[in-house]
Amino acid sequence: MSHRGITPMTTRLVVAQTWRDTYPGASVGILTLHDVANQGSCAALDDRKAWLESSLRRRFEGQGRDGIKALPTIRAYAAYYKQFRKTYHVQLQLESVALKGRPIANESPGLPRPLVEAMFVTELDHLLLTAGHDLDLVAPPLALGVADGTESYVRINGEQQVLAKGDMVISDALSVLSSIIHGPDRRTMLRPETRNAIFAVYAPEGIEVQAVEAHLQALRDSVRLIAPQARVGILEVIS
């Protein structure tokens, strides 16, 4: 079912029964924002990033990796990633910032900021996996499903990628947009000229719908630090 759409869906997400059957406790959040900006720097976002870095270091001081691994959200993603013999990359980023004192890094060097940076800051704050795309490059309808292991797409780094069998995946009418294990595509990546954006949040079993909605709202607020005029088109969680 859908959990409180803020506005009617205009970019329809078709949910495959295989996704419901395979991941009955999972949810996916969708946020679309119009009239955004994706060039230059943003002092308010820089301040938000600096505040988060300090906050995370205070929160996890003396706890070590075990304290981070014990977080319910991290445990939920760790269980999902374990199926694919992978480690949740947001956990590694959190350890880098909170335990090693390193700054929040742009995990995809070369991508335009500040939209990507707003997404990374919110991701690290709430620990929920997020993919961002240029909405004007998406070809509806969107489809949420489970990979059969034969699909392929060009990742954001330009490499061709075959999906991992059983991974959650979102596609449009042309190709894959993102998957949990291998991330977003290159075709619809956020660009300097992006003016309308769509963000998808993948939440495996163990993460409450309310947490996903709170993450989407925080991401909206982060983007509005960059573009106060940004308008919400969709803010919805599908579970």
Beta-carbon contacts of 90 under 8 Å, excluding residues fewer than 6 positions away, are 77, 123, 124, 127, 129
Residue of 169, 73, 67 lying closest to 123 (CA atoms): 73
Query: Residue 185, CB half-sphere, CA atoms under 13 Å: how many?
Result: 24
Residue of 187, 175, 188, 186 lying closest to 147 (CA atoms): 175
- The reported pLDDT for the residue numbered 126 is 97
The dihedral of CA 57, 68, 180, 29: what is its sign? negative
Which domains occur in the chain, in start order? 2-41+111-238 (3.50.40.10)
Residue 65 CB: number of other CB atoms within 10 A? 14
d(CA 201, CA 13): 13
Q: Give pLDDT tens digits along the chain (239 positions).
A: 343 333 333 457 899 999 999 999 999 999 999 999 998 888 999 999 999 999 999 999 988 899 999 999 999 999 999 999 999 999 999 999 999 999 887 655 555 578 999 999 999 999 999 999 999 999 999 999 999 999 999 999 999 999 999 999 999 999 999 999 999 999 999 999 999 999 999 999 999 999 999 999 999 999 999 999 999 999 999 98
Cβ atoms of 65 and 99 closer than 8 Å: yes
- The reported pLDDT for the residue numbered 104 is 84
Beta-carbon contacts of 13 under 8 Å, excluding residues fewer than 6 positions away, are 28, 30, 141, 142, 143, 144, 170, 238
Q: What is the pLDDT of residues 171-204, one digit of tens each?
A: 999 999 999 999 999 999 999 999 999 999 999 9
